[in-house]
Structure 1
């Protein structure tokens, strides 16, 4: 990788693709507490957000009015981190009649139209071939979690807890459970709506496919915004979810964090996040219209992905399955050699997981 492209490695520090105002706001919220060993990251983010500020203003001025006119029709994939949602997200994105938020769009949410030619090539060349936690392919045009874009545009995102882990639980309580003032919730809705509309505007399709684990705890807010949205809930063996989520944090925290962190504390956070998010999900999912909701077991999905996908399209009355069948089939074939990470659990840890998550383990019939 040449030095120019290494310098613009937004994937290493996602906040570097955001706005300077947002970066300073998040810093202030955290008392500017950046550990000395991470000062290089601090200056890198500060420099990059400063550089992108001018093209950002141009892009907003040029496109914002047209973006606001877009009426997006979301299809939400929800479920906990490491529950198999990425595979479904990638697969459904092969439907050419859907828009989605790409990796490039999440990393530079205010600079991906006006500065596309410049930044997209740089980002493409700086991305690793695979994600650090699961060896799934990374590419600028692949679908990605819009939560990164929300975090780059506002302080109202759970992912700021990955950068500032001393407040990780606080960010979760505020921006997944929404234990905040209604004005903050409305501000979050404005930013989220902008991200979704802009993706639809850029790709030219009103129906937008969105995969974002924190949305599992935001059903009430999403239904308020999009009463006719479609929801696909994908769930997986909670024991495997725990091991894989721990692996996720071991992969991203050394890359993203601006503060010291303790993996034992993160483990306790994972137990809390999963339970709190699903408690809220089960409480709110009745708000989704019956015809707009489908629930999928991950283990069934990976055994028969095309059949499961046909069931999803039929249940939600989504069009274009037959038109997209061959593209779906090709993507499934391309993944046949993928080997997921394997994790083992000792008896003590398995008992601990059950003590925290027995509601979902029993509800879904896992052992």
Structure 2
């Protein structure tokens, strides 16, 4: 499959596909955040997407009221919350196996994670999740459209979406109006973001993590690919944080990332009937360079014993061996308590098949020419296999 794979068609049935009635992440915004997004983007809506866009405005008004109620009920408690353990960040490029690694780590009963509901409604999950999640679970598909991984309100999710809905700029906001191209690229590594804005970003991430701890105060496992470029700033707010990085054959990463971004633009976007997104290929190529230039500089800042690097190929070939090595290297405790959960996860997902890709020679050449830093850092040869 090449990066030009046609985008999936919509279905009006929200229980089987990401139809027009299915909640987008932008449904989780407060009214001010949603109106600000509309005001700063070229809102070229199609008749199909107008239904979704029209539904977001009243929902965002409800979110604003619920957010005020959560702040009244839990605001002081969230600010004072002390984390039981420093968080563990799963790092890696999109489609490198971060989801697999995240789900394996949360089989540990001493770990927890932000779920999809909490990332969609980060400002009011403490006062709405118990009753609103069961009422709306039927609206979500059972599988993610890009890779058939299980979906649902209770499934682990990227905290980058929570940051979007908290009103922070993020490269992910391009998926709301994808025809307009990339936005907020400076927030990928935060290096060019003014100090005041970066402090606000750090403060809101810390408060979100604390809000999860109010519900479940165990080690929180966080997974968002952009965090790979933000290690320096993460360490400023969580100095004792632990990190695990996963790498994968770059010739698999590129087409899979293109597929992911197109799928997210289709299912999360408000411009589903507009032309293909010509900007994506260049943006994906550029983002990896920015991400791994930052990671190469920042990983030296991580205290000894707080970073483990693994390969997707090794993890899928020997999951117990790699996870046990990670537990020992990061001092996460006795692996014996984790092994039963890992066994159950492997048994449950044993029939999962990864997508297969055949990319043309000219695309291979672009990947090789632009992603040399990744080939060198993780020892992938010219063919993407071990050097």
Same fold per superposition (TM over 0.5): yes
Task: Give 2:159's aligned residue.
Answer: 146
Task: Give 2:43's aligned residue.
Answer: 33
* Structure 1 Cα separation of the partners of residues 324 and 29 of structure 2: 38
Task: Give 1:62's aligned residue.
Answer: 73
* Structure 1 Cα separation of the partners of residues 360 and 269 of structure 2: 29
* Structure 1 Cα separation of the partners of residues 249 and 190 of structure 2: 23
* 1:46 lines up with 2:67 in the alignment: no
C-alpha change, 1:12 and 1:54, in structure 2 (3 Å) is: closer
Once the two structures are superposed, residues 230-257 of structure 1 have per-residue CA deviations (whole angstroms, 9 ceiling, x without a partner) of: 0001010111000110110221111222
Instruction: Indicate conservation of the 8 Å contact 1:133/1:248, yes or no.
Output: yes
Task: Give 1:273's aligned residue.
Answer: 287
Query: Aligned with 2:184: secondary structure?
Result: helix
RMSD in angstroms over aligned alpha carbons? 2.4
Gaps of 5+ in 2: 1-11
Instruction: Indicate conservation of the 8 Å contact 1:161/1:169, yes or no.
Output: yes
CA displacement at 1:50 relative to structure 2: 1.1
2:347 corresponds to which of 325, 328, 333: 333
Task: Give 1:176's aligned residue.
Answer: 189
Query: Aligned with 2:122: secondary structure?
Result: coil
Instruction: Indicate conservation of the 8 Å contact 2:179/2:276, yes or no.
Output: no
* 1:323 lines up with 2:334 in the alignment: no
Gaps of 5+ in 1: none
* 1:345 lines up with 2:356 in the alignment: no
Q: Give the number of the structure whose residues are more often helix, by fraction.
A: 1
Task: Give 2:25's aligned residue.
Answer: 14
Instruction: Indicate conservation of the 8 Å contact 1:158/1:176, yes or no.
Output: no
* Structure 2 Cα separation of the partners of residues 141 and 324 of structure 1: 20
Query: Aligned with 1:275: secondary structure?
Result: helix
Query: Aligned with 2:193: secondary structure?
Result: coil
Once the two structures are superposed, residues 146-204 of structure 1 have per-residue CA deviations (whole angstroms, 9 ceiling, x without a partner) of: 11111111132221121133665441223434422111101111111111111121113
* 1:365 lines up with 2:380 in the alignment: yes
Task: Give 2:258's aligned residue.
Answer: 246
Task: Give 2:234's aligned residue.
Answer: 222
1:300 corresponds to which of 291, 314, 318: 314
Query: Aligned with 2:261: secondary structure?
Result: helix
* Structure 2 Cα separation of the partners of residues 124 and 112 of structure 1: 14
Query: Aligned with 2:350: secondary structure?
Result: coil
Task: Give 1:202's aligned residue.
Answer: 215
Once the two structures are superposed, residues 134-154 of structure 1 have per-residue CA deviations (whole angstroms, 9 ceiling, x without a partner) of: 100112211110111111111
Task: Give 2:168's aligned residue.
Answer: 155
1:114 corresponds to which of 106, 127, 134: 127
Q: TM-score, normalised by structure 2?
A: 0.88
Query: Aligned with 1:291: secondary structure?
Result: coil
Task: Give 1:313's aligned residue.
Answer: 327
C-alpha change, 1:9 and 1:106, in structure 2 (3 Å) is: farther
2:114 corresponds to which of 101, 107, 124: 101
CA displacement at 1:261 relative to structure 2: 6.1
Query: Aligned with 1:252: secondary structure?
Result: helix
Query: Aligned with 1:115: secondary structure?
Result: helix
Deviates more, 1:14-23 or 1:357-366: 357-366
CA displacement at 1:321 relative to structure 2: 2.5
Instruction: Indicate conservation of the 8 Å contact 2:94/2:225, yes or no.
Output: yes
Once the two structures are superposed, residues 66-95 of structure 1 have per-residue CA deviations (whole angstroms, 9 ceiling, x without a partner) of: 111223311000000000010110111111
Task: Give 2:267's aligned residue.
Answer: 255
